[in-house]
Amino acid sequence: MRTHNVFHINLLTPFPEDKDFHRRQARPPPIVTEEGEEEYKVDHVVAWEQQKNGLYYQIRWKGYDPIEDTMERADKIAELSQIMEDLLKRHPKAPVPKNYKHPGKEYK
């Protein structure tokens, strides 16, 4: 025999709407360079993908939601040494672009 919870309608009350539920956190403003260009801070590399025209990294931006991740050319990200070091610590076998100079390696 199955039983179900039964409540009298007089015991029900309307759900109080939470006005902050749909409010997103404020995004950090972009950094404006001397040339007037906007720059954003990279949080970390989420994933990578080899495409016909080169290696791309999926980038998570500081202060932004995962839905706003973007695919960026890996050779641009290779210039950010701290981001690359973090990537290689988490994923030692991650592919790196040709222009990346690993701090522990010497090139001739």
Q: Per-residue pLDDT tens for 65-81?
A: 899 999 999 999 999 99
pLDDT-based confidence at residue 93 (cuts at 50, 70, 90): very high
- Domains contained in the chain, CATH given: 41-90 (2.40.50.40)
Q: How far is CA 85 from CA 28, 32, 75, 94, 104, in A?
A: 24, 26, 14, 11, 10
Asked whether the beta carbons of 45 and 55 are under 8 A apart, the reply is no
Mean pLDDT score, 91-102: 89
**Could you tell me which residue, 86 or 14, shows the higher pLDDT?**
86
Give residue-wise pLDDT tens across range 13-50. 888 877 666 666 677 888 888 999 999 999 999 999 99
Please give the pLDDT value at position 51. 93
Chain Cα centroid distance, residue 22 = 20
